[in-house]
A and B are shown apart, each in its own frame.
Chain A
């Protein structure tokens, strides 16, 4: 059967996420407030993913929150909130070898929000909503790579396309969910997150 790509993609997923998390943690100190906010936002996202994941299929009020966390608090917070959301919510939805890849994808959602925040700091809710909408599809496309490499043979573009097409309706639901939730709640969320960012920034007056 030739190279066992399923094995390699899973290993690549595991190693990348471990290295990314270690790297993000070691590079500069995370402040106590950042730690607490990351944990709280992750719990909120997890609740959104695990609870509505069952009831509303793929309409989850989660991905937009990760995106906005990255947009307001920067790449590190965005990445951690994103990466830890699938890790914890999969305890409810089903843990598996797909978890590392999901963690990478969700982490990327947070990082993309941060990159967007750097390039367009004044981006309005409409722009962010469009970005969230695209992530609905992009997430499905990236996750299909893992599924394709493990369960499909031969590994051709055609089989990948079919797998992607089979999941298209789910991806569309996810994208639509992101669009709706970000359009409805995005503006308020950014406002609340910005308010807490001000609270998090501690400046010491050294020469008082």
Chain B
């Protein structure tokens, strides 16, 4: 069930980038999704993300991620119109409610709720793309130089997690063979049986951790300064991707200084496209952000480009 949500090595070009390049690229995406307020800009980011996710064959996982975000999105969309009084176009005069006052639902407040919903989808999609595009182990290795022990602990517990679930099943089976029926009895009795299960799991896993510690010590862990070895290559594709990310960020900041990407919702919603600069600024940012997609197409269809990147 969870397999689809995780990174799988599928041999796509988009999965072959240096982890640092992908991290920079996705960070720029994250910053832009938080800085932009114009719904058009947010939608454009969402579309670009959809193309990228399709490029790594992650549409199925994306669906799962989006489903998870719908509840939060609905909550934001309902609360916003209820509390915001700044909107000018009232579409429903509601009754007076204690503490909140008169419930007047305005068009602008609903609009803002919808725009926030799009932002949430963009944020979720960024992390979905992260899960599909980059091997978590390679990211961890990137940080092992600065925070070796934290990285080791994260890697260890990620590995331990499936073992834990397997252990739980094993202990349950052993108990069942000894005659414990987990489905029988009142709620209180069931709870007591499960609490025994938990105690055994805690004891056996902590015992296991002591063995791990001893085997780590036997392999000279913590005996001196640790050495770091990295096999990640920085190729032209990574430089182009990182360069594109920085150019996109600078273009976006430059645009934001002149109001491209900003938006006023209250008292009356602004025009979605104020003038041609709005579109030009958006296309420049999108062009720089599409670098990995362009390279992906080049890799698939242009032999010359393939030989160079």
Contact = CB atoms under 8 A, between A and B. Distances in A.
Interface of A: 1, 4, 6-7, 10, 21-22, 25, 29-33, 35-44, 46-47, 50-51, 61, 80, 84, 87-88, 91-97, 147, 150-154, 158-159, 162-163, 166, 184-185, 188-189, 192-193, 196, 199
Contacts of B221: 32
B195 A43 contact: no
A32 B150 contact: no
The interface residues of chain B, by DSSP majority, are classed as helix
Q: Give the size range of B's interface with the partner.
A: 35 or more
Contact of A84 (B136, B157, B212): B157
Interface stretch (B30-38, B42-50, B280-288): B30-38
Nearest to A159: B83
Contacts of B116: 150-152
Nearest to B163: A43
Contacts, number: 173
A9 to B, nearest CB: 9
B56 interface: no
Mostly helix, strand, loop or mixed at chain A's interface? helix
B176 interface: no
Interface of B: 2, 5-6, 30-31, 34-35, 37, 65, 68-69, 72, 75-76, 79-80, 82-84, 86, 100, 112, 116, 119-120, 123-124, 127, 130-131, 136, 146-147, 149-150, 152-154, 156-158, 160-161, 163-165, 168, 191, 195, 198-199, 201-203, 205-206, 208-210, 212-213, 216-217, 221-222, 262-265
A199 B120 CA distance: 47
Contact of A94 (B65, B112, B161, B165): B65
Contact of A162 (B83, B124, B161, B208): B83
